[in-house]
Amino acid sequence: MTDLVSKLKDKTAHVVVIGIGYVGLPLVAELARAGFRTTGLDKDPEKVRLLNAGESYIADVPTADLAPHVAAGRLKSTTDCHVLGEADAVIVCVPTPLNKTKDPDMRFIATAIDEVARYQHDGLLVILESTTYPGTTSELLVPKLTQNGRVLGRDVFIAFSPERVDPGNRTFKTRNTPKVLGGASPECLKAATALYSHILDKIVPVSSTETAEMVKLLENTFRAVNIGLVNEIAMMSRKLGVDPFEVIRAAATKPFGFMPFYPGPGLGGHCIPIDPLYLSWKLRTLQYQARFIELADSINSGMPAYVVERTSEALNDHSKPVRGSKILIYGVAYKRDVNDFRESPALAIICLLEKRGAHVSYMDPYVAHLSEDGVTRTSLGSATDFGIFDAVVIVTDHTVLDRRRLSSQAKLIVDTRDALSNIEGDRTKIYGL
């Protein structure tokens, strides 16, 4: 314990981060910046090649945050798991998707921990950052890493700290976002704190790994449920003949007791559509139904189909069938001003429109190519005339969208983000949620 903490405090420890994607890459940048010898371990050879060249492949991490540390020899990357045998600390940042039945897919975590165990030595700190259900650390990591007689808090130190990466956020990055941290024992918490205190402005210790796991699920369940609520409000408002965005903006003027959430075409990204379902799955194993989560998921998952219905209605109002119509999807990234299209509602909207016989194209300045289910699409250029389409559906309201030109040129617009609310022009051709 003393030797490990000393290495962490004086920054002589070698830290290996498993998974160098949206979570892992910002983390290796902060570790290297703090002076730790840092290695990114990933099975993707292209990510490894780029990081070893000092080049960033994620918009939130400038190349300037990587290149000097690579040049100085503090930062490198590899596909070879043998590096785990040289590590003093390992941070696991692998994906935690859902399978086809919306149950947790734990393969990536299990594989990563198997590799850690294969090269494990005494005095190793292992921290899981991948979002998962409460109990994962104590039920999966602790038994695996304390086999062969190793004692928790003496021979191995285990902790959980939920990642809180918000792609595209220009204010809160890895360093200045408070870091929740739970140890599998008090000694484990002390060791993990010794590492994170060098790279983060604020650490929020909690009493257990289960608490830390639950924190992340609460954060994203809170958002998913509230988004589900306002998505249903949008559908209610259309039946009542009022504008849901106007209603929400007016309600948001109340200085207490209200927090605005806004409706949209559905949830996207790797967190909000997925994390709450990890919690509901865990509760089902305990014979408890997480009703709010399941209802919100039902509403949010149905929004792409709702958008397609609105598009069909809009075309019908203009004497056009969906079949044979040329439709442009503007924005396939899951949120504004990012290049991440994981779980984007645009994917389902495109699929549903094509099933109805529409000819669908997309335009996204952040996503040049879109590969899904074996089909690769290419974005149209930003100068493309919107007027050549029978309808334009705004799925992601990137800041760079020329809203005035779109409003002027397009024959018909389905605006799922209220992106054109302040644009003057013919409002009869603009359909909202």
Write the single-letter amino acid at 427.
Answer: R
pLDDT of 19: 97
Determine whether 271 is an active site residue: yes
125-134, 250-259, 279-288, 424-433: which range is least confident on average? 424-433
Average pLDDT over residues 224-248: 96
CB distance 103 to 281 below 8 Å: yes
- 3-state DSSP helix/strand/coil percent for the chain, to nearest 5? 40, 15, 45
Residues 172-214: tens digit of each pLDDT: 998 999 999 999 999 999 999 999 999 999 999 999 999 999 9
Residues 402-411: tens digit of each pLDDT: 999 999 999 9
Question: Residues 6 or more apart from 245 whose CB is under 8 A from it?
Answer: 262, 263, 418, 421, 432
Confidence of residue 418 (pLDDT cuts 50, 70, 90): very high
Write down all domains in the chain, each with its CATH number in brackets: 2-207 (3.40.50.720), 303-433 (3.40.50.720)
Average pLDDT over residues 306-315: 97
> Quick one: tokens of 239?
């039946």
Catalytic residue among 81, 188, 271, 351: 271
* Mean pLDDT for all residues in the chain: 94
Residue 21, Cβ neighbours under 10 Å: how many? 19
Looking at the chain, the whole-number percentage of residues with pLDDT higher than 90 is 88
Report the alpha-carbon distance of residue 416 to residue 265 in Å, rounded.
6
- pLDDT of 243 above 80: yes
pLDDT of 83: 97
- pLDDT of 297 above 90: yes
pLDDT of 424: 85
pLDDT of 389: 98
Report the alpha-carbon distance of residue 224 to residue 299 in Å, rounded.
10
Question: Residues 6 or more apart from 133 whose CB is under 8 A from it?
Answer: 104, 213, 217, 278, 279, 281, 282
Confidence of residue 10 (pLDDT cuts 50, 70, 90): very high
Average pLDDT over residues 5-21: 95
pTM: 0.91
SS3 assignment, position 351: helix
Compute the residue count for the chain. Answer: 433
- pLDDT of 1 above 80: no
Write the single-letter amino acid at 305.
Answer: A
- Angle (CA) 289-294-299 rounded to 5° is 160
The residue to which tokens 């405090």 are assigned = 9
Report the alpha-carbon distance of residue 25 to residue 55 in Å, rounded.
11
pLDDT of 428: 87
- pLDDT of 156 above 80: yes
Report the alpha-carbon distance of residue 90 to residue 389 in Å, rounded.
51
User: 140 to each of 15, 275, 402, how far by Cα in Å?
Assistant: 22, 18, 50
User: 95 to each of 270, 370, 429, how far by Cα in Å?
Assistant: 8, 20, 42
SS3 assignment, position 410: coil
CB distance 390 to 214 below 8 Å: no
- pLDDT of 284 above 70: yes
Residues 93-149: tens digit of each pLDDT: 999 998 888 889 999 999 999 999 999 999 999 999 999 999 999 999 999 999 988
Report the alpha-carbon distance of residue 41 to residue 24 in Å, rounded.
9
Residues 336-372: tens digit of each pLDDT: 999 999 999 999 999 999 999 999 999 999 999 998 7
Residues 15-65: tens digit of each pLDDT: 999 999 999 999 999 999 999 999 999 999 999 999 999 999 998 899 999
Average pLDDT over residues 288-297: 95
User: 200 to each of 79, 161, 166, 240, how far by Cα in Å?
Assistant: 27, 12, 16, 48
Report the alpha-carbon distance of residue 289 to residue 280 in Å, rounded.
7
pLDDT of 427: 84
CB distance 393 to 412 below 8 Å: no
Question: Residues 6 or more apart from 173 whose CB is under 8 A from it?
Answer: 26, 60
